[in-house]
Chain A
């Protein structure tokens, strides 16, 4: 029950608890908390995939580190936080452009 083919079920449940409680909590929270929680979720997903040895991806690791470094601008500098979101979008878009899908 606790582990499915190498995946730690409890750690995924932690993530889903974070995402569902974020979704519920965001009703009534400041507008910028929405994008903040989504970027926080991306960081947590990448970290979880790394911890469970499911990925070894230098691009995703760099994005995780960038999120960790810049996400808290949300409480200090609205413009810097929005610029960080723009940067993230373009980072992921450029990476996606290389993919054949």
Chain B
């Protein structure tokens, strides 16, 4: 095993070896049971065309914007109350009063609400920029049609997020914009009026509407978006990134041959640093003899 060790490799100090083992032993323990390292490498260590640019980062920017929305939204839900009943203290609806209190009273509430409010617009804008990039680069073509389709579904759920979230502040703008939005749905042929009445949840846009929109905004749509993002990212990882249309690289060319490396190569330590010589799962003390 240790017969072909290159002479130039320095012998590691004993302490460094101990530290490495302390870090790697738990990692190995988890990896043996979950193939977590393999999965992480499959997800992150991918071949990417040489001539990609910042434009290919719009998708992950959109994902980041969504994560910001999910986190700030979950925290806002700790202070927001979706009720149209009149708050006896303020004489105004509870939902409106709770938004006022988040903005004006709760420490840093103005910041988190602002992040959620403006982040919503950022999310939608990035969605459209990402979609435009994919369209103009022709990246929706074979074999990435399903990635495009899940992306369109993500756009639709994103817009629904905007529609349902807009009502929650329960002020005049929110109320009448939602009235218009519900009636817009009502003008769809045949089932439109039924859809409008379902959305309003009764004769008035009131407590039921607010609770329904809150549930859709907080539970249904985030679940759908998480699932769709999972499929979308799986497909992106599986199918890889497209070259831009101006690329000089030949499409569909063979990938460079894989350098034989170990399962952790490049993840914790620089690639090829002796891991390749130790393909076994269990790191016993004897394997340190390679260095």
Pair from one complex = no
Give the interface of B toward A (CB within 8 A): none
Give the interface of A toward B (CB within 8 A): none
